[in-house]
Chains A and B, each alone.
Chain A
Amino acid sequence: MNKEAEVKLVQSNTKKRRKSHSLEKKSARGGYLFTLPFIIGFIVIYLPVIFESFLYSVTTIERINAGESYQLVWAGIENYRAALFDDANYTQILTAGLRQLLLDVPAILIFSLFIAVLLNQKMVGRAAFRAIFFVPVILSTGLIAQIDTSNTSLMTYMSDTEGIGTNAARSTSVAEIVSAMDIEYLFSNMKIGGGMAKYVSQLINNIYNIVNRSGVQMLIFLAGLQSISPAIYESCNVEGASAWETFWKITFPMISPMILVNFIYTIIDAFTSSTNSVMSYINQVYGEAGKDTLSVAMAWIYFAIVIVFVLLAAAFMSAFVFYQRRD
């Protein structure tokens, strides 16, 4: 090897090193470039908004210069105290809302997983069923949900086949598809307690609401089911596993990360939806004159409770989540 070649080798070595360094730098620059909108937004808009929101919850607002600007007056924990102890309705609505959340979340999860498994199988009319099941995601939100809440009288009127005369006499039971009595009777034969029976009958009567709220969860489960390799099912089939066994031994563990994601999504969705009783009460308080900072304090209390609940449940569930090792 002569000297010239050696020099060339050294040169190319240094060149290579410099290039790899710059590639790393380039990658970092690209990363910042692409996420720049979010970084700017987070710093300029979101962080101040969260900070101010917290600030509002410990102050009261006084508008000066005829509404052109405002002044914050320090109130300490006054708003929180007022929300928890002075307001007659808040704690009641809060506990009722949280209980409702506890009941709804498992129902929505089980229902959406069940439907996703059904919609994942090959059958006639699958595309049509999928299209129908995702209708609520697109069409039953916001304004439409708001109209729907004032709609129950029309719905029962239209679906009731016995006419108005009998309708008035039994107006309470018309809306219920099944009565709690029937289910209780069924369950007492199966030696299951009355609380469970009440829960199930509540769910069945609430089915429209549950279907409406499980659209996105269904999509996420469906995506998860699609990502399970068919080879696993094939080998199960060859080994002679039944569909029931295949579901619990293969589908369920493989889908468990999705269950965690959906669990968190469902809680947050239920918690942020405007039809939620606590949220609508907070909105109502927000609309009352001079109580806007009180409503912020209420929202923070609610948020704190829900986030603690989410974290605890997520920590508990993540112990049971199965992650498939790739490569």
Chain B
Amino acid sequence: MNNIETTTRIKRETKNTIKVDFDRTPFWQRMKAKFVNKNFLVKLIWTIFRYVILIGISYIILFPFFTKIASSFMGPDDFVDATVKLIPKNFTFDTYKYIFLENKYMQALGNTTLLSVGASLLQTFVCAMIGYGLAKFKFKGNKLLFVLVIFSMIIPHQTLQLSLFMKFRYFDVLGIIQLLGGGSRILPQLNVTGGVTSINLTNTFWPLALLSATGLAFKNGLYIFMMRQFYRGVPNELEESAYIDGSGIFSTFVRIILPLSVPMMITIFLFAFSWQWTDTFYTSLFWTRSSVVLMKNVIAIPESLNITYAGSNMYNAAIRNTCGLMIIAPLVIIYLFCQRYLIQGIERSGMTAD
């Protein structure tokens, strides 16, 4: 007590602050105690190691994008010049210009936007609904349905591609159209539709719309699984109080549950949208004619840039990459805005495997 009183001297005192002067351990001693010990050293080495690994892998991920961007601004001469690496010498916008003008980019952008936004909105809503049904209601066959959802995720759609194509090329619901058209063995005399025994749905938006509306499109099993895990973490009291206040099942879902699950739904929308945007499987399966221009049709060498010279192999690869860059440009913009939600949504899902 006495010691403190002798060493601390009040230098200045105002109403709210007080400045005290006292003997401190010298600066170098403090620094030594803080930084020269085993604990700090281990921590430092670990931090350096962590940053080296993270930055290294970030480089591996981002380097292809750098090369693509760099080569997209290069003129044809740069690809035979050995001194040109990564920084273009003949800086040009021609590649972008001709892809934009000659590859029907705007048309593809419009069609793909319509397709992707429509399909992914539908998928997000339908998967939320199915996930909610599986998570919150007890009914016969609940477990079986969940197994079927996982099953639909496991079977690759490539295995089913021929039958999916056939299904929508000769579309029919449980043989009803065939029956009406007189194609069936039971009632061959019946002919309401004038000999039409099936509808051709290829080259339209219908196949994807139908698959999305029934939760069977690309990776929808995963989305349903994620939604189910999320809703299992939502307390039952919320809906119970809504029911007591006289709200119906569906209006409770729309008014209370859906607003709650917006972060998770943004995650799923982002997945569905970007995977649909760059999808090649369904677009090439269901669009056999090129009457509907989609993103897959953009990847081509424009007429004006189709020149043959020593570096044309490299140049063509650069043009194709530029097409790729133009395709993912809208995705990058959306990702920059939504990536925060992507991780938040997953973190809040409390996904556990049981």
- Do A and B interact with each other, yes or no? yes
Residues on A close to B: CB < 8 A? 24, 26-35, 37-42, 44-46, 48-50, 52-53, 55-56, 69-70, 115, 118-119, 121, 123, 127, 129-139, 141-144, 146-148, 150-151, 153-155, 157-161, 163-165, 207-208, 211-212, 219-220, 222-224, 226-227, 257-258, 260-261, 265, 268, 271-272, 274, 279, 282-283, 286, 292-293, 295-296, 299-300, 302-303, 307, 310, 321, 323
Is B149 touching A38 in the complex (CB atoms < 8 A)?
yes
Closest partner residue, chain B, to A207 (CB atom): B60
A-B contact pairs, 28 of them (CB 8 A): A31-B137, A34-B132, A34-B133, A35-B130, A35-B134, A35-B145, A37-B130, A37-B213, A38-B148, A41-B216, A48-B163, A48-B167, A70-B170, A118-B54, A127-B340, A129-B58, A132-B61, A135-B61, A139-B274, A144-B278, A151-B321, A157-B314, A159-B67, A211-B61, A286-B161, A293-B162, A299-B158, A303-B156
In the assembled complex, which residues on chain A have CB atoms less than 8 Å from the CB atom of B53? Answer: 118
Q: Chain B 137-176 against A: per-residue CB contact (8 Å), 1 yes, 0 no?
A: 1111010010011001111111111111011001001100
Q: B211 within 8 Å of A by Cβ?
A: yes
Max chain B C-beta neighbours (<10 A), residue from A24, A33, A34: A34
A118, A154, A211, A283: the one contacting B321 at CB < 8 Å is A154
Check B159–A299 contact: CB distance below 8 A: yes
In the complex, are the beta carbons of B353 and A257 less than 8 A apart?
Answer: yes
| Residue of chain B at shortest CB distance from A31 | B137
Does the CB pair B82–A158 fall under 8 Å? no
Tell me which residues across on chain B come within 8 A of A127, comparing CB atoms. 340
Q: Does B281 contact A (CB under 8 A)?
A: yes
Chain B nearest CB, measured from A181 CB (Å): 22
A34-B134, A37-B126, A141-B274 known; 13 other A-B pairs, CB under 8 Å? A31-B134, A33-B133, A38-B149, A42-B214, A45-B167, A50-B155, A52-B167, A53-B162, A133-B58, A142-B278, A147-B320, A158-B67, A219-B342
Q: Are A219 and B346 in contact (CB under 8 A)?
A: yes
Query: For A138, A160, A303, A323, which residue has the most chain B Cβ atoms within 10 angstroms?
Result: A138
A30/B335 contact (C-beta < 8 A), A45-B210, A158-B67, A279-B158 known: no
Is A155 a contact of B167 with CB atoms below 8 Å? no
Q: Is the CB of B85 within 8 A of A150?
A: no
A-B contact count (CB 8 A): 273
Of all chain B residues, the one with the shortest Cβ separation from A302 is B159
Of B47, B64, B133, B274, the residue contacting A123 (CB under 8 A) is B47
Report whether B64 and A155 are in contact in the complex, using a CB–CB cutoff of 8 Å: yes
A residues within 8 A CB of B67?
Answer: 154-155, 158-159
With beta carbons under 8 angstroms apart, the residue of A44, A46, A147 that contacts B152 is: A46
Determine the chain B residues whose CB is within 8 A of the CB of A131 once the complex forms: 339
* A138 and B335 contacting across the interface, CB-CB below 8 Å: yes
Q: Are B140 and A163 in contact (CB under 8 A)?
A: no
Residues of B within 8 A of A295 (CB): 162
B250 shortest CB reach to chain A, Å:
7
Residues of A within 8 A of B60 (CB): 207-208, 211
Roughly how many angstroms separate A138 CA and B343 CA in the complex, as a whole number? 13
Q: What is the CA–CA distance of A56 and B211 in the complex, to the nearest angstrom?
A: 21
| Shortest beta-carbon distance from B288 to chain A in Å | 12
Contact stretch, chosen from B18-26, B28-36, B99-107, B326-334: B326-334
Given the complex of chains A and B, what is the CA–CA distance between A177 and B158 in angstroms? 34
Contact indicator A56/B163 (Cβ below 8 Å):
yes
Contact A272 B157 (CB under 8 A): yes
| Distance in Å: Cβ of A153 to nearest Cβ of chain B | 6
Known A158-B67, A159-B63, A219-B343: A118·B139 in contact at CB below 8 Å: no
